[in-house]
């Protein structure tokens, strides 16, 4: 195997920290770049003494000059409360961040990977979502800074590919969970587990009948590696997620059972533009990458609960 120099932006975040670990395990040199907006050094503290790991504090909305062979562009807050905290900065991170990282890839001839999202489908009118579905996004709503930022980043990736012949890989990530999620990021899995462990009320938004499909982080990272290693004509976008769809209420009940919690369910208003249903069609990932998730929700939730017990 050839050792590559690999840049991971957003490497101190939830997914980035797992990706850095996996790339080091695979024998590569890893440069982790992060501005610590939502990530933390704690997520990567176990890598500090690794001889092939390097860490740089940097904001991707500014240009970056480094020499690398591959780039994984993950920098962007991902939870609704974090990306809505400073929506202008969220759009800048997606759009200016993509321009800067694509410019870097062009200068050094690197292959570049974009962490896009199922949010490009918005509140979908097709179900489950295939990559050919063009989406149903409100361009002026509170989620737009993230959804439209990510859509524009995809546009930039494909224009650099067509115009400058860049080698690109675009993944559309569906809801993912696991250790290193931020305990206060407001996402449903972290909220429910923290509430259950503390014996607090479990907050269901709306009536809890909206659906999501949850992928364990190790499965997702395997999908990333396979997509990056695929032939150059495989550009994506490719959906990566777990196609087992459940209601948010069902998730709450499973978390209560696994934590043996006495927490009760309470109902809160549904946030604006909250998608009613979401589930990936992963036929393309199966066909192109021979990838599908292997970790059952109950197994993944148990591992995640063990992690959150250390973060209380």
Residues marked as catalytic: 146
> Which range, of 17-25, 45-53, 95-103, 201-209, touches ligand UDP by CB under 6 A?
201-209
212 binds ligand UDP (CB under 6 A): yes
Instruction: Say if residues 13 and 181 touch (Cβ distance below 8 Å).
Output: no
Can residue 149 be called a binding residue for ligand UDP (CB under 6 A)? no
Question: Among 6, 7, 8, 13, which residue interacts with ligand NAD (rule: CB under 6 A)?
Answer: 13
Does residue 104 come out as left (phi exceeding 0), alpha (psi in the -120 to 50 range) or beta? alpha
Rounded distance between C-alpha atoms, residue 247 and residue 256, angstroms: 14
DSSP secondary-structure letter at 119? G
Helix (H, G, I), strand (E, B) or coil at 54: strand
What is the C-alpha to C-alpha distance for residues 308 and 45, in angstroms, rounded to an integer? Answer: 17
**C-alpha distances in Å from residue 272, one per residue of 123, 127, 275:** 11, 20, 9
Minimum distance, C-beta of residue 182 to ligand UDP, in the bound complex (Å): 12
Paired tokens of 52: 């092939």
Q: Which is nearer to ligand UDP, 116 or 191 (CB)?
A: 191
Q: How far is the CB of 250 from ligand UDP (least distance, A)?
A: 11
**List 6, 7, 14, 110, residue binding ligand NAD (CB under 6 A):** 14
Contact of residue 128 among ligand NAD, ligand UDP, none (CB under 5-8 Å per partner type): none
- Range in contact with ligand UDP (rule: CB under 6 A) among 18-26, 44-52, 204-212, 217-225: 204-212
Does residue number 205 form part of the binding site for ligand UDP (CB under 6 A)? Answer: yes
């Amino acid at each position: 195997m050839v050792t590559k120099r690999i840049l991971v932006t957003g490497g101190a975040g939830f997914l980035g920290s797992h990706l850095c670990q996996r790339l080091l395990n695979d024998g590569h040199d890893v440069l982790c770049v992060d501005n610590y907006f939502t990530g933390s050094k704690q997520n990567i503290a176990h890598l500090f003494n690794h001889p092939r790991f390097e860490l740089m504090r940097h904001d991707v909305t500014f240009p970056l000059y480094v020499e690398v062979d591959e780039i994984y562009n993950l920098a962007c807050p991902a939870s609704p409360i974090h990306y809505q905290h400073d929506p202008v900065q969220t759009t800048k991170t997606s759009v200016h961040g993509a321009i800067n990282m694509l410019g870097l890839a062009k200068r050094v001839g690197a292959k570049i990977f974009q962490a896009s999202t199922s949010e490009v489908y918005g509140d979908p009118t097709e179900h489950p979502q295939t990559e050919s579905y063009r989406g149903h996004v409100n361009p002026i709503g509170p989620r737009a800074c993230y959804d439209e930022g990510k859509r524009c980043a995809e546009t930039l990736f494909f224009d650099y590919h067509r115009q400058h012949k860049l080698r690109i890989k675009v993944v559309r990530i569906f809801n993912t969970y696991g250790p290193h999620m931020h305990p206060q990021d407001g996402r449903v899995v972290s909220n429910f587990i923290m509430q259950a462990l503390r014996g607090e009320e479990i907050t269901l938004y709306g009536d809890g009948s909206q659906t999501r499909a949850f992928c364990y982080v190790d499965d997702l990272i395997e999908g990333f590696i396979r997509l990056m290693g695929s032939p150059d004509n495989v550009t994506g976008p490719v959906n990566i997620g777990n196609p087992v769809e459940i209601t948010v209420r069902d998730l709450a009940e499973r978390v209560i059972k696994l934590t043996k919690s006495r927490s009760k369910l309470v109902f809160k208003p549904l946030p604006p533009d909250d998608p009613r249903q979401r589930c990936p069609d992963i036929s393309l990932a199966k066909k192109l990458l021979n990838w599908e998730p292997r970790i059952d929700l109950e197994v993944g939730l148990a591992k995640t609960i063990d992690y959150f017990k250390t973060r209380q």
